[in-house]
Amino acid sequence: MTSESSETYRGFCHCKAVSWAVSGKPLRRVFCHCTLCQRLHGAPFVHAIQYPNSQFRWTHAGPHEDHIERFNIPEKPWKYRVRCKKCGVMVVGENTKIDVLGVFGGGMERDGDGNVKDWDKVKATDHIFYDTRLMDVHDGLPKWEGYPEQSKLLSST
Ligand SMILES: [Zn+2]
Ligand SMILES: [Zn+2]
Protein backbone atom coordinates (compact mmCIF):
# COMPACT_ATOMS: atom_id res chain seq x y z
CA MET A 1 0.00 0.00 0.00
CA THR A 2 1.32 3.44 -0.87
CA SER A 3 0.68 6.31 1.49
CA GLU A 4 -0.87 9.56 0.32
CA SER A 5 2.37 11.39 1.01
CA SER A 6 4.33 9.31 -1.52
CA GLU A 7 2.04 10.48 -4.34
CA THR A 8 4.06 12.50 -6.84
CA TYR A 9 2.84 14.48 -9.83
CA ARG A 10 5.11 16.01 -12.43
CA GLY A 11 4.61 18.74 -14.98
CA PHE A 12 6.43 20.97 -17.43
CA CYS A 13 6.06 23.97 -19.71
CA HIS A 14 5.57 23.73 -23.46
CA CYS A 15 9.29 23.72 -24.35
CA LYS A 16 10.22 21.54 -21.32
CA ALA A 17 12.95 23.93 -20.16
CA VAL A 18 11.05 24.22 -16.89
CA SER A 19 9.68 21.26 -14.96
CA TRP A 20 8.40 20.57 -11.46
CA ALA A 21 7.16 17.90 -9.12
CA VAL A 22 4.68 17.98 -6.27
CA SER A 23 4.10 15.31 -3.69
CA GLY A 24 1.57 14.49 -1.04
CA LYS A 25 -2.00 15.60 -0.71
CA PRO A 26 -3.06 18.90 -2.30
CA LEU A 27 -4.56 21.56 -0.05
CA ARG A 28 -7.14 22.58 -2.62
CA ARG A 29 -8.01 21.66 -6.20
CA VAL A 30 -10.30 24.05 -7.96
CA PHE A 31 -11.47 25.58 -11.18
CA CYS A 32 -10.72 29.27 -10.70
CA HIS A 33 -12.85 31.77 -12.61
CA CYS A 34 -11.19 34.90 -11.20
CA THR A 35 -10.36 37.70 -13.64
CA LEU A 36 -6.66 37.38 -12.86
CA CYS A 37 -6.55 33.72 -13.95
CA GLN A 38 -8.63 34.53 -17.02
CA ARG A 39 -6.28 37.30 -18.14
CA LEU A 40 -2.99 35.64 -17.26
CA HIS A 41 -3.82 32.27 -18.78
CA GLY A 42 -6.00 33.38 -21.69
CA ALA A 43 -8.66 30.87 -20.68
CA PRO A 44 -12.21 31.11 -19.31
CA PHE A 45 -11.02 29.36 -16.11
CA VAL A 46 -7.99 27.55 -14.77
CA HIS A 47 -7.61 24.19 -13.03
CA ALA A 48 -5.36 25.01 -10.06
CA ILE A 49 -4.00 22.42 -7.64
CA GLN A 50 -2.51 23.98 -4.51
CA TYR A 51 0.19 22.56 -2.26
CA PRO A 52 2.19 23.79 0.71
CA ASN A 53 5.45 25.24 -0.61
CA SER A 54 7.39 22.42 1.09
CA GLN A 55 5.70 19.81 -1.16
CA PHE A 56 6.85 21.51 -4.38
CA ARG A 57 10.23 21.32 -6.12
CA TRP A 58 11.73 22.34 -9.46
CA THR A 59 13.08 19.37 -11.43
CA HIS A 60 14.80 21.13 -14.35
CA ALA A 61 18.55 21.63 -14.23
CA GLY A 62 19.79 24.36 -11.93
CA PRO A 63 20.27 27.12 -11.29
CA HIS A 64 16.48 27.03 -11.46
CA GLU A 65 16.08 30.79 -11.46
CA ASP A 66 17.92 30.99 -14.82
CA HIS A 67 14.97 29.39 -16.59
CA ILE A 68 12.05 31.09 -14.91
CA GLU A 69 10.61 34.55 -14.78
CA ARG A 70 8.73 35.47 -11.63
CA PHE A 71 6.38 38.38 -11.72
CA ASN A 72 4.43 40.05 -9.04
CA ILE A 73 0.74 40.86 -9.23
CA PRO A 74 0.78 44.62 -8.45
CA GLU A 75 -2.67 44.71 -6.78
CA LYS A 76 -1.80 41.65 -4.66
CA PRO A 77 1.91 41.97 -3.78
CA TRP A 78 1.96 38.61 -1.98
CA LYS A 79 1.00 36.84 -5.20
CA TYR A 80 3.34 35.77 -7.98
CA ARG A 81 3.07 33.95 -11.25
CA VAL A 82 6.07 32.04 -12.55
CA ARG A 83 6.57 31.38 -16.22
CA CYS A 84 9.18 29.83 -18.48
CA LYS A 85 11.58 32.43 -19.86
CA LYS A 86 11.83 30.59 -23.16
CA CYS A 87 8.27 29.62 -24.13
CA GLY A 88 6.34 31.95 -21.81
CA VAL A 89 4.05 29.28 -20.39
CA MET A 90 2.70 29.94 -16.91
CA VAL A 91 3.88 27.08 -14.73
CA VAL A 92 3.20 28.04 -11.13
CA GLY A 93 1.20 30.48 -9.05
CA GLU A 94 2.64 31.47 -5.69
CA ASN A 95 1.10 33.00 -2.59
CA THR A 96 3.87 34.11 -0.24
CA LYS A 97 1.42 35.22 2.47
CA ILE A 98 0.31 31.65 3.18
CA ASP A 99 3.35 29.88 1.64
CA VAL A 100 1.27 28.00 -0.91
CA LEU A 101 2.10 27.10 -4.49
CA GLY A 102 -0.38 26.22 -7.18
CA VAL A 103 0.32 24.13 -10.26
CA PHE A 104 -2.05 23.90 -13.20
CA GLY A 105 -3.82 20.80 -14.49
CA GLY A 106 -2.99 21.72 -18.09
CA GLY A 107 0.74 21.52 -17.39
CA MET A 108 0.73 18.07 -15.86
CA GLU A 109 2.55 15.09 -17.31
CA ARG A 110 0.31 12.79 -19.41
CA ASP A 111 0.39 9.14 -20.34
CA GLY A 112 0.29 7.91 -23.95
CA ASP A 113 -3.46 8.50 -24.09
CA GLY A 114 -3.10 12.11 -22.96
CA ASN A 115 -4.43 11.46 -19.45
CA VAL A 116 -2.98 12.42 -16.08
CA LYS A 117 -2.30 9.37 -13.89
CA ASP A 118 -4.34 9.04 -10.70
CA TRP A 119 -6.54 11.85 -11.93
CA ASP A 120 -9.08 11.32 -9.14
CA LYS A 121 -6.62 12.67 -6.58
CA VAL A 122 -6.04 15.98 -8.35
CA LYS A 123 -9.24 16.61 -10.27
CA ALA A 124 -11.14 19.74 -9.23
CA THR A 125 -13.67 19.56 -6.41
CA ASP A 126 -15.04 23.11 -6.55
CA HIS A 127 -15.44 26.15 -8.78
CA ILE A 128 -14.21 29.38 -7.18
CA PHE A 129 -14.82 33.05 -8.02
CA TYR A 130 -17.72 31.81 -10.12
CA ASP A 131 -19.30 35.28 -10.10
CA THR A 132 -16.82 36.46 -12.74
CA ARG A 133 -17.18 33.40 -14.97
CA LEU A 134 -16.99 33.69 -18.75
CA MET A 135 -19.07 30.55 -19.19
CA ASP A 136 -21.56 28.48 -17.21
CA VAL A 137 -20.50 25.01 -16.16
CA HIS A 138 -23.01 22.33 -15.21
CA ASP A 139 -20.91 19.58 -13.69
CA GLY A 140 -22.55 19.14 -10.29
CA LEU A 141 -19.59 20.65 -8.41
CA PRO A 142 -20.14 23.44 -5.87
CA LYS A 143 -19.73 26.97 -7.22
CA TRP A 144 -18.50 29.60 -4.79
CA GLU A 145 -18.39 33.39 -4.91
CA GLY A 146 -14.85 33.25 -3.47
CA TYR A 147 -13.00 30.44 -1.72
CA PRO A 148 -14.77 27.16 -0.83
CA GLU A 149 -16.58 27.13 2.53
CA GLN A 150 -15.46 30.76 3.09
CA SER A 151 -17.82 32.49 0.70
CA LYS A 152 -21.35 32.34 -0.63
CA LEU A 153 -22.37 29.13 -2.41
CA LEU A 154 -23.83 30.29 -5.73
CA SER A 155 -24.87 26.96 -7.20
CA SER A 156 -24.21 23.25 -6.95
CA THR A 157 -25.61 22.02 -10.23
ZN1 LIG B 1 9.22 26.57 -21.68
ZN1 LIG C 1 -7.88 32.66 -10.13
Closest ligand to Cα 107: 1
Instruction: Give the domain range for residue 77.
Output: 4-155
CATH of the domain at 150: 3.90.1590.10
Q: How much distance in Å is there from the Cα of 95 to the middle of ligand 1? A: 22
Burial of 103 (0-12, 13-18, 19+ CB in 10 A): buried
Query: How many structural domains comprise the chain?
Result: 1
Task: Say yes or no to pLDDT of 143 above 90.
Answer: yes
Query: pLDDT per residue over 48-76, tens digit each?
Result: 999 999 999 999 999 999 999 999 988 88
- pLDDT category at 6 given cuts 50, 70, 90 is low
Average pLDDT over residues 107-121: 94
Query: pLDDT per residue over 40-54, tens digit each?
Result: 999 999 999 999 999
Q: How much distance in Å is there from the Cα of 35 to the middle of ligand 1? A: 24
DSSP letter for each residue of 73-110: ETTEEEEEEEEETTT--EEEEEETTTTEEEEEGGGB--
Q: What backbone torsions phi and psi does residue 65 show, to the nearest 5 degrees? A: -65, -20
Average pLDDT over residues 96-110: 96
Closest ligand to Cα 46: 2
